[in-house]
Amino acid sequence: MKLNELKDNEGARKGRMRVGRGIGSGKGKTAGRGQKGQKSRSGVSVFGFEGGQMPLHMRLPKRGFNNPFGKDFAEVNIGAIQKMIDANKLDAKGTLDHDALKAAGLARGGKDGVRLLGKGELKAKLDLKVAGASKGAREAVEKAGGKIEIIEPKNPAELAAAKKGSKKKAAAKA
């Protein structure tokens, strides 16, 4: 057997049905769409439409609230940090920030920074620079001889003002 002799088993790949090629083909005339009506036309997708009856997704009660100003933190437990230090994937010397935790594979996502949680046990002395920390995590880090520096997140109003200012500067330069 050679690479150029490889082929699928007989019947493994079925050719597509070519519709609208005359009545002798069995899929001519209406091309399998039935007669008339909205769904026989091209470009129709009536997903969720129930013939004028209130659709199911509108009949069901809505729950919860999506906060448009909610913060997105990557949550990291101190036990996971200790595990990475023991596995030599994270260096305990120096300051551990979002980038260092991300490189180690601990902080996933979190566009507003890292929030430290107190699950697990910490033996290493660490200097951490994070956006937030729970009370238990703070106590555990201080007990191990380390310290936590909390970074203040940028205020959305300040960010918007800075953006407006940069647009005006760019317009003035041009």
What phi, psi does 39 have (nearest 5°)? -80, -10
Residue 101 domain flag: yes
Residue 51 domain flag: no
| Helix or strand holding residue 148 (H, E) | strand 147-150
Domain of 112 in residue numbering reads as 74-150
pLDDT in tens, 36-94: 888 888 878 788 888 889 999 999 999 999 898 888 899 999 999 889 888 888 887 88
pLDDT in tens, 11-43: 999 999 999 999 999 899 999 898 888 888 887
CA dihedral 79, 81, 85, 88 (to 10 degrees): 120
Residue 11 domain flag: no
88, 81, 150: which is closest to 121 by C-alpha?
Answer: 81
Residue 164 domain flag: no
Residue 166 domain flag: no
Here the CATH number for the domain that contains residue 123 is 3.100.10.10
What phi, psi does 35 have (nearest 5°)? -115, 140
**What domain count does the chain have?**
1
**Interatomic CA distance for residues 133 and 146, integer angstroms:** 13
Whether the model clears a pTM of 0.85, i.e. scores above it, the answer is: no
